[in-house]
Structures are given as structure tokens and as C-alpha cells.
Structure 1
């Protein structure tokens, strides 16, 4: 198909495999339909981000709205607020900002110019992440949230990573790797302690982890390729 003409074999196989696993879980374990929709739209979103494609934001709108609703049902208030109050409106901001920073299409089909973070930028980022996580954990504990330390760290790192994504920094992927590990832990703990039939959430975050590693490698490659074209 035309929309897949610049996709690599790995990207096609990975997306197809993830879709099959999620559909299997939906029928085998009677997972929720909303969880299936959230998981599939989320996977499409992150794969398109890894490719530097602006269209990721359309699937991001669906994923953030559905995931916020699911998280609220499990009293994961940090995740619910992050997605409903931050991620969802940011999808529209991202559409605008990426559209204003398009680059010419290359053989890889990326849509935007990629930037890199300085050492000073990393130092500031780490300081904000540590302080922000400690403060937000106290807030989540106050309102009766579950697994507040994991929830807080995942939320704060997600916000920072999303800002880096809007600014088109390749280093966003290092944070997404950490976020995905935390989120997998969060959902495993939640489903064990509370029960529930949303195994799709664990599968989704596991897939996100693999994709974030791929995204980091791909964005560094894109950055080097774009630098070579400007020299």
C-alpha cells in the first residue's frame, strides 16, 4: 500500500505481530474493547513517531483519550491526569509545531528535522526529573492514588519526554525507555493487586519499550543523515 511504501520490513513485521498478539488477548482473556483500541492506536502512534511522521498525532489523540479513561478506572490518577489533561491537548500542539518544522522527504520518509540535546541540557533535565518526581509523589499520595512512586516517576519523565518530542530532540527516546519500564512495572503491580482484564496495557507498554529503543537508534541515524545533507 502507498502509506507503507517507505516502511522497513522490521516496522511492518513488528506492527503486524503486535496487532495479532493484542487481538489474541482480547478474545482469549476477554480483555476490554477500550483497552484493545487504546493499545493498537498507541502502537501506531509510537511507530510513526519513531519514523518522524507527523501523522502519529492523529493516533495519539485516540490513544491518550482512551488510556486516560482506563487509568482512572484503576485509580491511577497520575496516569489519568497525564493523558487527559496533558497528552491529549499536546497532540494538537504537536501537529502544529511539527508541521512548522518539516524537512524534505528522504528515503526513510521522515517529516521533521531532528535535534540533539547538549550536556548542559541533560544536567538540567535530570535535576527537574528528580525534584518533580518527589513532589508529584506527595500529591498523588494526598489524593489517594495507587503505586504513587512508580506513577509519579512515570508521569514526570513522560512530561519531559513529551516536551523533548515537541522540540524534536532525539534524546526524548532515552526518557521514553525509562517511562516504558516504569509503566510496565506499574501495570503489573496494579493488575496483580487489583485484578482486572486489561492485559493489553502490559503488552502495549512492552511494545512501546521495544519501539523506544528502535526510535532512539532511528532518530540518531536521521540526525546524522540530516546533518550530512546540510554540510
Structure 2
């Protein structure tokens, strides 16, 4: 009976995967594996990239299981970033993203949809932001980016402007994610664009070969666009279009 129940839960979990989601995961996984061999990439870089893609796709679907893959991705990515001198990225992932995965598991488990159409404890309730929340958020991002850039410059980091903006936007997006706001994806889009630029510049200047990370961030960019579309659709379906902070 227990085995049948587990199979039924797995089938329901996989049933709502769209053709886009399956194709997205398959295409970017294949690209990562190809680059791993073609560019003699590191195994750690491949693990970080693949676990990161699974994580963000599950976030886009509003699935709590994203946090399990997030634990793997944040810890490996923090180490890789540190070896390239991207101290902002290393601190963000090691000191913020990694522990936040456990907090996210707790908070999302308290706000899940429980009905016959979703896997119990897996699909999360979505909210949207008010205009006043947008104003406070933008001000905090501007101030935080300037102050963090000064800190990164003081400790000898690389590309401190991009590094700072990416990190502050990431923290903002992560907080909105914990609070289950659909608008998190607009910030993730900016984060992904800046992160692609950051890694291209860094790998070019250092001669590094972890180009699977560039593919990972490119995959994240496509996923964040889809995530925003899907979470807005989820909010409407749940009748929470006018949610507020």
C-alpha cells in the first residue's frame, strides 16, 4: 500500500509538467553535458549548474522540492565563486542562499495548497505586490547596491559594480520568493542578465573554463521569464490577484 501511494504521488507530481518545462530541462541539460566534455569543465561546475536548473524550474512551478536542489547548488556555487575571486557571489550563496533554503522549506510548507489537484504539501500559495511595496523595494535596492559595492571594493573583489548589483537584486528576489510574491521573477530576470555578463567578463579575464555556469545563468534567464508568466497565472487561478505585503 505504501509503495502504491508513493507511485500515485509521483505520477501526480509529474503530470503537470508542460512540454515547455520538459524541453527546457532537456535542452539545457544536454548543452551543459556537452560543454563539460568540450571545454574540459570541472565536475563541480556541472553539478552546480544541473542542480541549479532543477531548482529554478521547480520554483517556477511553485514546488517546495526546489529547496532540496537549492541546497546543493548554493553550496557548490559559493565555493566556485570564491575560487574566481567573486567574493560577493561567494558570500551571497554561502552565507545567505544556503541557510535560506532551510527557512524556505519551513515557510513554504506552512503555505501550501491542499486539494485533489495538487500533491499534498508541494504546491505553494502565490501572492502579488502593491505599489507602495514596489517603492520601498526600489529604494532599498539602490541604497544597498551602493553600500555593498564600497565594501567589495575595500576587500579587493572583481567587477564590484556588477557583483554588488547582482547580489543586492538576488537578496531582494530571494526575500520576495520566501514571501511567495510573483514579482520576484522580475528581479530574477535582472539578476540573470547581470550574472551572465559577470561570468563572461570574469572567465575571459581569468582564463577560467567553467562555461557551464554561463549556460546555467542563461537557462535561469529563460526560466525566470517563464516563472513570471506561470506565477501570474497561478495567482489568478488561486484568486489572489490583489494580494498585498
TM over 0.5: yes
Give the Cα separation in 2 of the matches to 1:190 and 1:97. 35
What's the counterpart of residue 60 of structure 2? 50
Q: Does 1:34 align with 2:41?
A: no
Select the structure of larger CA radius of gyration.
2
TM-score, reference length from structure 1: 0.96
Task: Find 2:124's aligned residue among 107, 112, 130.
Answer: 112
Deviations 1:84-136 (A, max 9, x none): 00000000000000000111357576611100010000000000000000000
Deviations 1:3-45 (A, max 9, x none): 4222011101110111100000001111110000000000000
**Pairing 1:149-228 to 2, within 5 Å after superposition:** 149-227=161-239
What's the counterpart of residue 121 of structure 1? 133
SS of residue paired to 1:22: helix
What's the counterpart of residue 25 of structure 2? 15
Give the Cα separation in 2 of the matches to 1:105 and 1:137. 46
Tell me how far 1:162 sits from its aligned partner: 0.3
| Contact 1:103–1:112 (8 Å) recurs in 2 | yes
TM-score, reference length from structure 2: 0.91
SS of residue paired to 1:82: helix
Task: Find 1:69's aligned residue among 76, 79, 89.
Answer: 79
**Pairing 1:84-103 to 2, within 5 Å after superposition:** 84-103=94-113
Ranges in structure 1 where 5+ consecutive residues have no aligned partner: none
Deviations 1:181-216 (A, max 9, x none): 000000010011111110011000000000000000
Tell me how far 1:150 sits from its aligned partner: 0.1
Aligned length, in residue pairs = 229
Give the Cα separation in 2 of the matches to 1:16 and 1:106. 29
Give the Cα separation in 2 of the matches to 1:28 and 1:84. 29
Residues 108 and 185 (structure 1), Cα distance of their counterparts in 2 relative to 1, 3 Å cut:
farther
Deviations 1:50-77 (A, max 9, x none): 0000000000000000000000000000
Residues 115 and 215 (structure 1), Cα distance of their counterparts in 2 relative to 1, 3 Å cut:
same
SS of residue paired to 1:168: coil
SS of residue paired to 2:129: coil
Give the Cα separation in 2 of the matches to 1:108 and 1:154. 34
